[in-house]
Amino acid sequence: MKPITRAVLSLLFLSFPFLLLQTGCGKKGDRPLPPPNAAFRVIELPCPAGKTLTVAVWYPTASPARPFRYAGSLEGNVAPGAPFYAGLAPCPLLVFSHGYGGSGISYVYLTEALARLGWVVVAPDHHDLQSAVRIKGGKPKDFDARKFFREVMKIAAAGPAERSAYRYRIDEMLAVLDGMFRSDFAPFLRRDLVAVGGHSMGGFSATGVCGAWENWKGGKIRALLLLSTASTACRYTRAELSRVKAPTMLFMGEKERMRARKHSTVGRLHAFLYGVFPPPKYFLEVRNGNHFTFNDYMGESKLLGRVLGGNPAQHEVIRRYSAAFLEKYVMGRGEIPAERDPMLTRLLFDTGE
């Protein structure tokens, strides 16, 4: 399929769910509302130990969007600080956790697209010991690459016995889930229309609030979206993971399959996760993808960008299947494509039916 044709079909696919918004989130009188644009705000939420969390929020708006630079070379198309789209509430909420040392603005290709479908997407900057980029200010001036990579290696070797050092991420996810329902966005949300997700160590965070560590008590989590997260398989036991009851979609990069990780391989660890989660569940392997395919690249080097970020075709397939999954299991509308996209090397699913 030609790239232009695939892009057009993707746009139609992502727009279709909004055309179905005929209750609460999408109709004013007898005239359907036009599709929303994505708006963007940065807010602060309280979290344990007297700290605050800087949180990126994408949400639907009727205001026109414009090109917007988040950090480094990363640009998007949003309406900064625009009002919420009147008539769309209540809307579904996705809380997304970034990988270690990353940022809430690392997945703009996905977060903006979901806001254009009527979602509120919230991504905090976790208080990791080392952070390569922040929502406010981009790359910290005191970033120490050596300390960062030492911490990454320490995390890679950690198992269930060492995970208490990362409990703060679970607490911060819970703080965001609770805080959003006390924020200015609360009137536009509903506690039974909630999903969580994460990339890499962010998958550990998201899975933790779905029952593997504890359950969020403020509402119901209806879906779990996981992007390249061998960390989750390393830090939870089979018994703990079996407590996760939310429908799950799990992505991995093709080039990760044989990469060694904690006496195993990334491929086997993802197979373990897929095997232990109850249905409905989905596993997708992105063609030529690596661990960083699921990021947006923020640097200036095109050469590094091929390794440290996904390309448009990869991001398109991640976005398309993720959106379909969230729409189906949180909002109860639409279907997930059963055919394998050419940008996927594997597509497995068990709907439990």
CB atoms closer than 10 angstroms to residue 148: 17
pLDDT per residue over 179-190, tens digit each?
999 999 999 999
Cα dihedral: 191, 107, 111, 4 (round 10): -150
d(CA 193, CA 176): 15
pLDDT of residue 25: 52
Nearest to 321 by CA among 2, 43, 88, 13: 13
pLDDT of residue 145: 83
d(CA 22, CA 276): 37
Stretch 43-70: mean pLDDT: 95
**End-to-end Cα spacing for the chain:** 32
Stretch 212-219: mean pLDDT: 92
pLDDT per residue over 22-40, tens digit each?
444 544 455 677 899 999 9
pLDDT of residue 159: 87
- Whole-number Cα distances in Å, 290 to 41, 45, 294, 343: 30, 33, 8, 13
- Whole-number Cα distances in Å, 147 to 17, 163, 329: 44, 19, 40
Share of residues in the chain with pLDDT > 90 (%): 73
Greater pLDDT, 14 or 50: 50
Domains of the chain: 3-350 (3.40.50.1820)
Q: What is the residue type of 218?
A: G
Confidence at 248, pLDDT banded by 50, 70, 90: very high
Nearest to 108 by CA among 331, 318, 274, 306: 318
pLDDT per residue over 75-89, tens digit each?
999 999 999 998 888
On the question of pLDDT at 8 being above 70, the answer is: no
pLDDT of residue 237: 95
Q: What are phi and psi of 115, to 5 degrees?
A: -60, -35
pLDDT of residue 30: 54
pLDDT of residue 148: 86
Beta-bridge partner residues of 67: 77
pLDDT per residue over 273-284, tens digit each?
999 999 999 999
Q: Is residue 36 reached through a cis peptide bond, with omega within 30 degrees of 0 on the bond before it? A: no
d(CA 306, CA 121): 26
Q: What are phi and psi of 225, to 5 degrees?
A: -110, 120
Q: CB under 8 Å to 53, separation ≥6 — which residues?
A: 44, 45, 46, 47, 124, 125, 127, 172, 175, 176, 179
The H or E element that residue 172 is part of is helix 167-180
Confidence at 255, pLDDT banded by 50, 70, 90: very high
pLDDT of residue 3: 45
d(CA 196, CA 225): 6
**What tokens appear for 266 in the block?**
């990334």
Stretch 256-264: mean pLDDT: 89
Across 82-121, b (16+ Cβ under 10 Å) vs e yields bebbeebbebbbbbbbbbbbbbbbbbbbbbbbbbbbbbbb
Stretch 326-338: mean pLDDT: 96
**What tokens appear for 187 in the block?**
């009137």
How confident is the prediction for the chain on average, in pLDDT? 90
Confidence at 62, pLDDT banded by 50, 70, 90: very high
pLDDT of residue 24: 44
pLDDT per residue over 94-127, tens digit each?
999 999 999 999 999 999 999 999 999 999 999 9
Q: What are phi and psi of 283, to 5 degrees?
A: -130, 130
**What tokens appear for 179 in the block?**
């805080």
pLDDT per residue over 148-190, tens digit each?
889 888 888 888 988 999 999 999 999 999 999 999 999 999 9
- Whole-number Cα distances in Å, 24 to 86, 272, 326: 10, 39, 18
Contact in structure between 127 and 45 (CB atoms under 8 Å): no
pLDDT of residue 31: 67
pLDDT per residue over 193-203, tens digit each?
999 999 999 99
On the question of pLDDT at 20 being above 80, the answer is: no
